[in-house]
Structure 1
Amino acid sequence: MDDMNKLIETMTTALEIWIERAKEYMALEAEEELKEAEDMKWKKLEIETTELQFTYDFQSENI
């Protein structure tokens, strides 16, 4: 019975460690997704800014 309790304790500890690592992994994944979303917003803003600058330059040449 003592061996069974030790096995249960070891498996419980292993499961707790696995759960903690899974939580850390999910947090890293969420952080990476957030960073990717922010990068996409910046790229969209850069494109819009470039388009506005091109339009402004084009209009300035035609004045």
Structure 2
Amino acid sequence: MYLQIDYVKTGSIYIVSRQNVEIPTGVEYMGTDGNWYHTSVLKPGKNGNINANFNNEAAEMTHIQLP
């Protein structure tokens, strides 16, 4: 189970994803900046372990608030 991050967004959230083609496994998510972010930088960690590659700003940008 992954840690739950609260981005203080309400209502509908839009998430765009694609199967990663450069790295054989995983999924990438598009941020509001137009960049693609691999799941390895979007999850803070699990089972009490901290992900040193976690990018909170990227994780927040991949959860797009709809008006």
Give TM-score scaled by structure 1 length: 0.21
Give TM-score scaled by structure 2 length: 0.20
Which one has a larger percent helix, Structure 1 or Structure 2?
A: 1
Higher alpha-carbon Rg: 1
Which one has a larger percent strand, Structure 1 or Structure 2?
A: 2
Q: Identify the structure with bigger relative contact order (alpha carbons < 8 Å, sequence gap 6+).
A: 2
